[in-house]
């Protein structure tokens, strides 16, 4: 089957697509030097389908079945954001240090499969970035009065909630809107589980638990104070599954203000944004 296929194809002009197909059949990266691999693969419906399979298995958990982003960024706008095939390949194979984006397992994954995932992502990608319609300057002011108590940006702000210095890279625009409105089920990162305890002297402490083990627990309260306790002496300890983050209803934060805040958040891309 391989032979007759090759013969038919060789009967025609020796097009890059043939090389791509050959490399699919043989499994190695026999791709013409001057043709970016994804472009060659993108011609092949089977490559895209295989890429979709790998994507669903390895990436969908964090980036969403539709790649529009859940616990990871929207991957349908990479090219609109100016990323290159090679840069994306490096991100997937090397990961992003210090984040949940880990390098793909190179032992169990061939380079060609990574290129197929990229071809799949390219096939579903959108030509333009999701637009925000707010005013980032006003959003920043709202953020500083309403959100900074719990969130740090570039080392300023509270520590009860996660640092948002890179949130513009790490989450999609829709995920940000939904998180602020509390639109999806309580998505509490276990690192931020709300905790209430009563210490040995009967004092109540509320905050989020950090660095827990069998015998000790640390709690950061809303004022950013960190206190450590010996678990065996506590009168009560209650770790909840709700989020400490308030749900910002339209009464608390108008639609226009939400759009301003989101427009500000998308500008937060850290210092080391690896945009290539």
Which range in 14-22, 32-40, 174-182, 210-218 contacts ligand HEC by CB under 6 A? 174-182
Q: Does 58 engage in binding with ligand HEC (CB under 6 A)?
A: yes
The C-alpha atoms of residue 123 and residue 112 are separated, in whole angstroms, by 16
Q: Looking at 30, 62, 237, 239, which residue binds ligand HEC (CB under 6 A)?
A: 62
CB closer to ligand HEC out of 10 and 49: 49
Q: Which is nearer to ligand HEC, 19 or 176 (CB)?
A: 176
Of 166, 172, 123, which is closest to residue 268 (Cα–Cα)?
166
Q: Which residue do the tokens 């991957």 mark? A: 75
Q: Given the structure tokens 């706008």, which residue do they identify?
A: 77
**For residue 122, how many other CB atoms are within 10 A of its CB?**
19
Q: Which is nearer to ligand HEC, 19 or 253 (CB)?
A: 253
**224-238 core/surface letters (b: 16 or more CB in 10 A; e: else):** eeeeebeeeeeeebe
Min separation Cβ 6 and ligand HEC, Å: 30
- Sole binder of ligand HEC in the list 169, 173, 209, 268 (CB under 6 A): 169
Asked if 164 and 175 touch (Cβ cutoff 8 Å), the reply is: no
Structure tokens, 90:
């490096």
Cα–Cα distance, 112 to 47 (Å, whole number): 9
Selected range binding ligand HEC among 40-48, 89-97, 195-203, 229-237, rule: CB under 6 A: 89-97
Structure tokens, 228: 């450590």
Q: Which residue has the tokens 């308030």?
A: 246
The tokens for 27 are 């499994």
Question: Looking at 24-32, 43-51, 164-172, 226-234, which segment touches ligand HEC (CB under 6 A)?
Answer: 164-172
Closest by Cα among 172, 149, 138 to 246: 149
Contact map string, positions 114 to 153, toward ligand HEC, x by CB under 6 A: ---x----------------------------xx-xxx--
Site residues for ligand HEC, window 230-259 (CB under 6 A)?
243-246, 248, 253
- Residues of this chain that bind ligand HEC (CB under 6 A): 58-59, 61-63, 71-73, 75, 78, 83, 88, 91-92, 96, 99-101, 104, 117, 146-147, 149-151, 160-162, 166-167, 169-171, 176, 179-180, 187-189, 192, 208, 243-246, 248, 253, 261
């Amino acid at each position: 089957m391989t032979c007759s296929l090759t013969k038919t194809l060789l009967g025609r002009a020796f097009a890059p697509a043939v090389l791509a197909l050959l490399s699919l059949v043989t499994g190695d990266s026999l791709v013409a030097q001057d043709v970016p691999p994804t472009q060659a693969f993108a011609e092949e419906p089977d490559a895209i389908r295989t890429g979709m399979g790998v994507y669903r298995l390895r990436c969908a958990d964090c980036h969403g079945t539709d790649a529009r982003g859940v616990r990871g960024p929207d991957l349908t706008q990479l090219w609109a954001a100016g990323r290159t095939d090679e840069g994306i390949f490096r991100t997937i194979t090397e990961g992003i240090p210090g984040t949940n984006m880990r390098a793909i397992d190179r032992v169990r994954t061939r380079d060609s499969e990574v290129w197929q995932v990229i071809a799949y992502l390219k096939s579903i990608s959108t030509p333009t970035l999701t637009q925000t319609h707010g005013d980032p300057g006003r959003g920043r002011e709202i953020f500083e009065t309403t959100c900074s108590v719990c969130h740090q940006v570039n080392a300023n702000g509270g520590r009860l909630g996660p640092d948002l210095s890179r949130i513009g890279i790490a989450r999609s625009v829709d995920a940000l809107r939904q998180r602020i409105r509390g639109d999806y089920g309580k998505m509490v990162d276990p690192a931020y589980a709300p905790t209430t305890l009563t210490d040995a002297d009967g004092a109540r402490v509320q905050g989020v638990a950090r660095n827990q083990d069998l015998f000790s627990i640390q709690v950061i309260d809303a004022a950013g104070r960190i206190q450590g306790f010996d678990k065996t002496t506590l009168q009560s300890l209650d770790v909840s599954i709700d989020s400490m983050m308030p749900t910002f209803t339209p009464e608390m934060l108008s639609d226009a203000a939400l759009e301003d805040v989101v427009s500000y958040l998308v500008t937060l891309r850290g210092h080391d944004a690896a945009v290539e």
